[in-house]
Amino acid sequence: MRQRLLRRNSFWLVFSLVLMLVSAVGASLVQTAGGNVEVKDMQWEAASGREMNALLFKPVAASADDPRPAIVVSHGWWNNREMQTANYVELARRGYVVVSIDMYGHGDSDPLPAGEEAVGGTGMHDTVKLLADLPYVDTERIGVSGHSNGARAANFSVALDNEADTPLIASVLLVDNDAVYTDEEGAYTNVYGSRDTGIVQAQYDEFFFRSYDAEGNALTPPREFLSTPNAQSFLSFGADPAEAEERDGFEVYTENVDGEEAMRVIYSLPQTHPWSTISSAAVGHLVDFFEESLGAPNPIPASNQIWQIKEVFTTIGLVGFGIFLVAFTRAMLTVPAFARLRVSETLPAAAPTRKGLAWFWGGLALSVGISAVSYVLLSQAPWAGGIAFGVTNLIAPGVPWFIGIWAAINGLAAIVIMVVSYLVFGRESGQDLRASGVLPGWGRFFQGIALALVTVVAAFLIVFVLDYFFTTDFRLWVVAVKVFTPDKIWFALLVLPLFLVYFFANSVAINGFNRFTLAGKEWLNTLVLAVFNALGPIILVVLQYTTFFITGETIPGFGGIFSIWLFPVILILAVAAVISRKIYRATNNPYIGGFVNAAVVTLISVSNSLVFV
């Protein structure tokens, strides 16, 4: 009975819908603290004249008669407001009013004019001004915190606040970015004044917390940051470290500045730059910092954290989304418009010959090598860097272009490998390209593309509906399926051809050339292909961070940001292999799964990136 149920596509379709609904309801319950926090999706024209988007978390008890301290939190570059989930969940349930912003150029906020990153504090200071006008906010207790370039936005905001007639920021916590240590002449200074200021510092930060000589060479790795003059000056409120006593991490230091008691602290943690966004230690220190600085209306020990529960729910939604892509595609095969694509019986996967296995393992090894080497070479190419970091929104965000070009290179390499394999081995061994669906005919090809398009639209329609009712998305750390603004469709259409080259070739390779049993089991073949799909990026990430942890620095010539960009790629490539195989078994058409994967990955890429103008 159970086996028959699991074989029914209708079961998996309903199951996927249930998973996504449970995800949305559960995530909503967590971020609203069981109904004690109101969540609003805000869009407004900010003081700098740009459209700003953010999530507002307002404790139900906050009112004009009971104003609450407020905190603006921000993601880093190439991310969006939901990357601050851990922070806004924990702060809001402790009674703070919290606003999690999409910085300009990100998410649903306006694109960012190149060179104007400091305007409005990339949106953070504009949001501080908005908070100050809300009747339920205590304007004497407004704090800001950001991760990476979100921390840079906090520094921009402090500079703007210093120039304001009435400064609004009382507290600053910088996460994984340097503070401002010196003035324009290079003298140590205290730009934060009487504001309480802290730093959450990653000892294995890929970008920050190094000291340099006059030629720009790194003198100390980030794990030695606490001993550097910059850190010591910061903890001494801008004093010259040569004239100050040595100070320690995790210790809160206070000093009277302009008649007010101010605090300084550095939390130095053994983690990487992106890890801080899902680090219970980093979140705990953030809670402690603002508790001491602003005072929590509803004090809860820092060790009491529930954001992980929301992460579980949004991950469940991500799983449901993936299952839906397969189950909905197969369900649509019963609709007359697509019935011709359905195969009455799944073609059995044959056992490989010894020569076939040699081609199989050899091709996989070669593909992994090309994947890893091409990525490193592309990361070192000046023209590719120009695309990744300098493309305007008329062409689409730079990072999707960079990843798309790398994907297309590997797609072309896969095509070459398959052509050689067919000419040298496949043809003489009886490989039939038409029977395997590699050559399905133009009618079935375009009909399959139409089916794939319907599937992708249906899947994202669910994402939009659940976001509308529950203000949640599907995500696991750096992999996020979320709503997007109409301009992202234009961006997606521009870079989609690059991803199609890869995912078409990848699906053909997986299903038309490498589908057979291993140890008599097809699922084992699918598992191997999923692992090898992601193995090139896995090797690069392992090498990068093994080197980093041993030496204190990343691999020379392989920038830290490029290894970080591989984190979501690893999961996506592994899952893509499974999706394409499942759809192929029902259609004998590798291009349907290829298009589904390409379209979904493209939309994920452009909706989680940075747009310059």
- Average pLDDT on 221-238 reads 97
Spell out the alpha helix ranges (H) of 105-242: 124-132, 149-163, 229-235
Which of 348 and 328 is assigned the larger pLDDT? 328
Per-residue pLDDT band for 294 (boundaries 50, 70, 90) equals very high
Per-residue pLDDT band for 351 (boundaries 50, 70, 90) equals confident
Q: pTM for this one?
A: 0.94
Q: Which H helix or E strand runs over 114?
A: none
Residues 364 and 284 in one domain: no
pLDDT at residue 385 in the model: 84
311 three-class SS: helix
**pLDDT tens digits, residue range 45-66?**
999 999 999 999 999 999 999 9
pLDDT at residue 157 in the model: 98
Residues 447 and 580 in one domain: yes
Between CA 509 and CA 512 the distance in angstroms is: 6
Pairing, β 97-102 against β 68-74: parallel
Between CA 212 and CA 225 the distance in angstroms is: 12
- Average pLDDT on 137-158 reads 98
Residues 493 and 521 in one domain: yes
**pLDDT tens digits, residue range 560-576?**
999 999 999 999 999 99
- Average pLDDT on 98-114 reads 93
pLDDT at residue 42 in the model: 97
201 three-class SS: strand
Q: Return the closest-CA partner of residue 453 out of 485, 496, 399, 510.
A: 496
pLDDT greater than 70 at residue 391: no
pLDDT at residue 420 in the model: 95
Q: Return the closest-CA partner of residue 538 out of 569, 576, 577, 509.
A: 569
pLDDT at residue 113 in the model: 84
Residues 56 and 201 in one domain: yes
Q: Which of 246, 279, 303 is the last residue of a domain?
A: 303
pLDDT at residue 23 in the model: 99
pLDDT at residue 258 in the model: 93
Residues 476 and 572 in one domain: yes
pLDDT at residue 281 in the model: 98
pLDDT greater than 90 at residue 520: no
Residues 201 and 325 in one domain: no
In a domain, 41, yes or no: yes
List residues bridging with 269 in a β-sheet: 202
CATH of the domain at 261: 3.40.50.1820
Q: Are 193 and 258 in contact (CB under 8 A)?
A: yes
Per-residue pLDDT band for 134 (boundaries 50, 70, 90) equals very high
- Average pLDDT on 442-449 reads 97
In a domain, 20, yes or no: no
Per-residue pLDDT band for 216 (boundaries 50, 70, 90) equals confident
pLDDT at residue 40 in the model: 98
**pLDDT tens digits, residue range 467-493?**
999 999 999 999 999 999 998 999 999
In a domain, 12, yes or no: no
In a domain, 228, yes or no: yes
- Phi, psi for 182 (deg, rounded to 5): -130, 160
Residues 36 and 118 in one domain: yes
In a domain, 288, yes or no: yes
- Residue 427's contacts (CB-CB under 8 Å, 6 or more residues apart) are none
Per-residue pLDDT band for 2 (boundaries 50, 70, 90) equals low
pLDDT greater than 90 at residue 3: no
Q: Which residue has the tokens 């349907």?
A: 592
- Average pLDDT on 199-222 reads 93
SS3 sequence of 463-517 = HHHHHHHHCCCEEECCEEECCCCCHHHHHHHHHHHHHHHHHHHHHHHHHHHCCCC
Neighbours of 138 (CB within 10 A): 20
Residues 591 and 464 in one domain: yes
Which domain covers residue 290, as residue numbers?
32-303
Question: Quick one: tokens of 381?
Answer: 């190419």
Residues 460 and 580 in one domain: yes
Residues 290 and 316 in one domain: no
Domain count, the chain: 2
pLDDT greater than 70 at residue 395: no
pLDDT at residue 266 in the model: 99
In a domain, 518, yes or no: yes
Between CA 483 and CA 460 the distance in angstroms is: 8
pLDDT greater than 70 at residue 613: no
> What is the DSSP code (8-state) at residue 124?
H
pLDDT at residue 4 in the model: 73
193: region left, alpha or beta (phi > 0 left; psi from -120 to 50 alpha): left
In a domain, 117, yes or no: yes
Angle at 472 between CA 198 and CA 93, to 5 degrees: 45
How deeply is 252 buried, as exposed, middle or buried, from its count of CB atoms within 10 A (0-12, 13-18, 19+)?
Answer: middle
* Percentage above 90 pLDDT, the chain: 87
Residues 271 and 367 in one domain: no
**pLDDT tens digits, residue range 169-203?**
999 999 999 999 999 999 999 999 999 999 999 99
**CA-to-CA separations, 32 to 27, 89, 268, 307, in angstroms, rounded:** 9, 8, 31, 11
Residues 152 and 208 in one domain: yes
